[in-house]
Chains A and B, each alone.
Chain A
């Protein structure tokens, strides 16, 4: 195939990818966008195969068949609550693939038109090692993130002295190795870069606490894009550069949005240590304050007689798999003429937008689900605010108490509703280790139970 024609078709594939992201500006256009993404990918693969001089189809077919079957099976089976782990695992695969491609280009540069072994251009070597290094960091970093999300390892930050200096040292070592590789084209240097980057990936993620996982996943999403970019530069392939840049900037924006939602700076997330045993002093005093405890019947009665109910689902709600019970409850309330809305905080759930997917899975229409900025003023007119498994994102001290560790974090103004119900397993503090004054308000009632169980009990009480 003609080189120019191929380049134009690659451009077409790039446009498909851009439109796939563009489609996500609205649920109605998103499905078409996703199909365009698939088309773009098909074009990219077809053009690449058509451009190869002699193709060994056996290996390629085997790879696509094995990979495709595994990928399809996983994607069809995965529970939506396990989505963050899945995405982390997928990121690690992109990272590892980048390492493999860089290794292939290093050992067989002729196939990529980069010269013969021993005579690869210095620029290509640098690009190659950047792709391999970012890929390796993405790979091990994502594996750690996966392990933390899957609870294979503790979500607590792992911190040891001189940690950040060690990371910095390894970073500098990587740069020196890249310089060595580009001057001497040494195989030792190449594999040393990969090895150091693999270690760096682990070290970067272990000090970050489980609570900051939404940021970590977004960050690794971004890294996987930059790795693809690095490979794109190596292969002088514009499609790879465009796709990598799109993914890289997307992940970076999501990281920013998540940091904003937690009022944390990106640097402090990276440095880690948040969400561990460093509980605030306020947590200890919890036992002395009094709170009202209620039962399912109280909540059912209040909500049935309300005009407007706003439901605030949090991470505990997702863990308890309470989506369907909640949806049933909302249906009963709507049948009684109650207006039901859902309020979603930007960091609800464990990855960006996770809560929206969980609600959508339970058949909650997306036009009943509102972002914080859209709905926050409506709490003042709500008769009932029902908080399910959310804690820190409703903590009024983020607005008022300057000494609170979460001061300044944007919160849902749940306390302004006429009556509050909080469904929670215990009175323990949230991940930030901060006591929540909301629980002790006079117009709040605690429903201490598992979220799913409580929702089902409320449904029963409503049915009566």
Chain B
């Protein structure tokens, strides 16, 4: 084997190695992608089941916490829960902020829907918390 042929072969091998490493790199990328997707569905449990788990536990927490609320404060309870349920603003923010990222078709319409949802929820958030604060500020102890 001449030195020339040897060099050629070595170059060929090196090129193979580069290709292989590229292939490996792609594989790794794919694996990362898969892992990310796996994490999203939290290890095989469907998001719906996770949601139901959270939901049921939260109902229990709500049940026990609300029974401890003193009846005298049932009106503030109502106005503060009203403000809290306006956390639905989160859904509006996503639609209103999506802009062009949303892409084809309904982006314009959904942005308007999002804007309206953000506006309505903001009325509730500010209104709900402030009116609750106003009410609670009135509850005073006897001056001795």
What is A's interface to B at a CB cutoff of 8 Å?
3, 13-14, 17-18, 20-22, 24-28, 30-31, 33-34, 37-38, 40-41, 44-45, 48-49, 52-57, 59-60, 62-64, 66-72, 74-76, 78, 80, 83, 86-87, 90-91, 93-94, 96-98, 100-101, 103-105, 107-108, 110-112, 116-117, 123, 127, 217-218, 221, 224-225, 227-229, 231-251, 253-254, 257, 344, 346, 351-354, 356-357, 360-361, 363, 365-369, 371
Q: Is the interface of A mostly helix, strand, loop or mixed?
A: helix
Which residues of chain A are near B125, meaning CB under 8 Å?
A: 41, 67-68, 71
Q: List 28 A-B contacts (CB under 8 A).
A: A24-B77, A34-B132, A37-B132, A49-B97, A60-B118, A64-B122, A67-B121, A68-B126, A71-B124, A72-B127, A72-B130, A87-B82, A93-B123, A101-B91, A108-B95, A108-B105, A108-B110, A112-B94, A231-B91, A232-B55, A233-B51, A235-B91, A238-B50, A243-B85, A254-B78, A352-B78, A366-B72, A371-B71
Which residues of chain A are near B23, meaning CB under 8 Å?
A: none
Which residues of chain B are near A111, meaning CB under 8 Å?
A: 94-95, 98, 101-102, 107, 110
Least CB distance from B111 to A in Å reads 6
If the complex has contacts A17-B84, A71-B127, A90-B127, are A235 and B115 also in contact, measured as CB distance less than 8 A? no
If the complex has contacts A20-B84, A21-B77, A24-B76, are A63 and B92 also in contact, measured as CB distance less than 8 A? yes
Which residues of chain B are near A98, meaning CB under 8 Å?
A: 88
If the complex has contacts A30-B139, A111-B94, are A56 and B69 also in contact, measured as CB distance less than 8 A? no
- Cβ contact of B58, chosen from A57, A90, A246, cutoff 8 A: A246
Contact A248 B62 (CB under 8 A): yes
In the complex, A229 Cα to B128 Cα: how many Å? 19
- Chain B CB within 10 Å, residue with most, of A28, A101, A112, A357: A101
- Cβ contact of A251, chosen from B81, B83, B115, B141, cutoff 8 A: B81
- Chain A CB within 10 Å, residue with most, of B69, B84, B141: B84
If the complex has contacts A75-B130, A221-B78, A253-B67, are A70 and B103 also in contact, measured as CB distance less than 8 A? no
- Cβ contact of B105, chosen from A74, A107, A217, cutoff 8 A: A107
Q: Is the interface of B mostly helix, strand, loop or mixed?
A: helix
Least CB distance from A68 to B in Å reads 4
In the complex, residue of chain B having the shortest beta-carbon distance to the beta carbon of A86: B131
Contact B114 A101 (CB under 8 A): yes
Asked whether any CB of chain A lies closer than 8 Å to the CB of B5, the reply is no
Which residues of chain A are near B139, meaning CB under 8 Å?
A: 27, 30, 356, 360, 366
In the complex, residue of chain A having the shortest beta-carbon distance to the beta carbon of B127: A71
In which size bucket is the chain B interface? 35 or more
Which residues of chain B are near A93, meaning CB under 8 Å?
A: 86, 120-121, 123-124
Contact A240 B90 (CB under 8 A): yes
Contact B77 A353 (CB under 8 A): yes
Which residues of chain A are near B75, meaning CB under 8 Å?
A: 83, 351-354, 356-357
- Chain A CB within 10 Å, residue with most, of B122, B132, B137: B122
In the complex, A127 Cα to B50 Cα: how many Å? 14
Least CB distance from B73 to A in Å reads 5
If the complex has contacts A101-B92, A111-B101, A245-B62, are A63 and B81 also in contact, measured as CB distance less than 8 A? no
Which residues of chain A are near B73, meaning CB under 8 Å?
A: 24, 27, 30, 353, 356
